[in-house]
């Protein structure tokens, strides 16, 4: 019996046993070599990989009904027909009680979720936790009366470029499919998919429908959740991305603890990338590290002694190439202890210990604005440290933030977006939610609004 790691080594040795110039084709030297196969891994993994079907009901609204002149002459047209939108993805059973992890984008907005096992049985599932920042979600099979097969999570930090991996999922809805490849790259931080950009890249074929499926190593352990592909055709072109198992573990732990949101350590500092110009100013050989741009009062960073212009170069022994790498490493640290970071301050290295604690979430005073105004239908909140961390806002900016918008809300039609910080309205400073609620209750012909979006101040004037 040849172990999976021996198999991987043997595959390499067959190619590298002789010098390149002297390579030759040869027959297998034993019965064992003829029978080498991924089948033993697949047979272990397949029962724990599921198909995820999500459906939501939407109104098939006639665009003519948005025209006020049309409505004036022809009326509202009565109730509009409903349409069911369906999405398809994959998932991985991570707890024998029926806990499944998948991608958040697979089940986003779903009214109904079903899980189909490899033996074709289907179960209704409920959404336990959604985390848009990692694009992960956790489901639970309803009324489970059995113990389900699961996959054990690997330590994704032990992966190396060149390791063999298998991708398991349901591409294009054709049914459960297995593809193989290698780890093409690690710590991809410029992909632009989620807040925590630190992806495993693989050339194992990943296609639409594979989202939420398993990326496993040669021991059958889960090393990542397949989440996206780079493609010009819509199909696999050998560049797929998976969320590392160490991040998946954090989300699963929050779900098992009964949380509706993922609890992560709070840094309380804003970081920026090191450009070639900054690197030259700091005397660095290459642009790397995360530069501290600001430190919030009372935050763990301030308690640890982190200062503006410090350059973070490592955390708990892991090198930090950019802010995305630091964010991932920091977010996967366990709460309750501390993280050791090394910074370059001026010309000398300094070691700091940052306590790993959650951001305080007091005083949000979240409300939905209902008065007739450009803000009607917007959910707003005061900026707490936890909310600033969750929405990636600069905590030093004062104002109230838009936390949610219904698709059909007037505020969405005007152009407001989640994460917009409302600074002033009609030349009146907005310090808390009650300020904006009071102003929206006052009728006005014009609304002069100052807001901050993505760090940029925007001034707009809207009719009443």
The residues carrying an active-site annotation are: 105, 135, 211
Rounded Cα gap, residues 172 and 292, in angstroms? 44
Output the six-digit token pair for 431.
């310090």
Could you give phi then psi for residue 311, rounded to 5 degrees?
-110, 110
Q: Evaluate the CA torsion angle 93, 99, 103, 107 in order and state its sign.
A: positive
Helix (H) or strand (E) holding 247: helix 245-256
Q: Which of 146, 333, 173, 164 is nearest to 253 (CA)?
A: 333
Question: How does strand 164-169 pair with strand 136-141?
Answer: unpaired
Q: Evaluate the CA torsion angle 118, 124, 128, 133 in order and state its sign.
A: positive
Helix (H) or strand (E) holding 222: strand 222-229
Rounded Cα gap, residues 282 and 346, in angstroms? 8
**Those residues with Cβ within 8 angstroms of residue 164's Cβ, 6 or more apart along the chain or in another chain:** 8, 11, 180, 181, 182, 217, 218
> Residue 449 forms beta bridges with which residues?
425, 460
A 10 A CB-CB count for 455 gives 11
């Amino acid at each position: 019996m040849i172990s999976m790691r021996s198999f991987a080594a043997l595959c390499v040795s067959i190619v590298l046993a002789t010098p390149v110039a002297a390579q030759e084709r040869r027959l297998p030297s034993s019965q064992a070599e003829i029978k080498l196969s991924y089948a033993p891994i697949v047979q272990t993994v397949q029962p724990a990989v599921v198909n995820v079907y999500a459906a939501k009901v939407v109104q098939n609204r006639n665009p003519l009904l948005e025209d006020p002149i049309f409505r004036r002459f022809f009326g509202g047209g009565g109730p509009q027909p409903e349409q069911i939108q369906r999405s398809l993805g994959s998932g991985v059973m991570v707890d024998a009680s029926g806990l499944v992890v998948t991608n958040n984008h697979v089940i986003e907005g779903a009214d109904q979720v079903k899980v189909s096992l490899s033996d074709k049985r289907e179960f209704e599932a409920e959404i336990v936790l959604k985390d848009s920042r990692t694009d992960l979600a956790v489901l639970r099979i309803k009324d489970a009366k059995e113990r389900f097969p699961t996959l054990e999570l690997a330590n994704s930090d032990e992966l190396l470029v060149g390791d063999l991996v298998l991708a398991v999922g349901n591409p294009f809805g054709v049914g459960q499919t297995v593809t193989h490849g290698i780890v093409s790259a690690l710590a991809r931080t410029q992909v632009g998919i989620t807040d925590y950009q630190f992806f495993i890249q693989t050339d194992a074929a990943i296609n639409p429908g594979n989202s939420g499926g398993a990326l496993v190593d040669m021991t059958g352990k889960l090393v990542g959740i397949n989440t996206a592909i780079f493609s010009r055709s819509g199909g696999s072109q050998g560049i797929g991305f998976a969320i590392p198992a160490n991040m998946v573990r954090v989300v699963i732990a929050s779900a098992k603890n009964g949380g509706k949101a993922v609890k992560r350590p709070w840094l309380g500092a804003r970081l920026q990338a090191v450009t070639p110009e900054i690197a030259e100013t700091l005397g660095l050989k290459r642009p790397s590290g995360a530069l501290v741009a600001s430190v919030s009062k009372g935050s763990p960073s301030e308690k640890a002694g982190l200062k503006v212009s410090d350059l973070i170069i490592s955390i708990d022994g892991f090198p930090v190439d950019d802010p995305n790498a630091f964010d991932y490493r920091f977010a996967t640290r366990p709460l309750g202890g501390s993280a050791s970071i090394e910074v370059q301050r001026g010309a000398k290295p300094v070691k700091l210990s940052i306590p790993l604690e959650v951001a305080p979430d007091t005083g949000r005073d979240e409300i939905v604005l209902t008065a007739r105004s450009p803000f009607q239908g917007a959910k707003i909140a005061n900026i707490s440290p936890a909310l600033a961390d969750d929405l990636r806002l600069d905590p030093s900016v004062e104002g109230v933030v838009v936390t949610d918008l219904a698709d059909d809300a007037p505020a969405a039609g005007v152009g407001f977006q989640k994460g917009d910080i409302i600074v002033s309205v009609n030349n009146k400073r907005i310090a808390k939610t009650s300020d904006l609620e009071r102003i929206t209750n006052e009728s006005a012909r014009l609304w002069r609004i100052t807001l901050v979006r993505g760090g940029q101040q925007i001034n707009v004037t809207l009719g009443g």
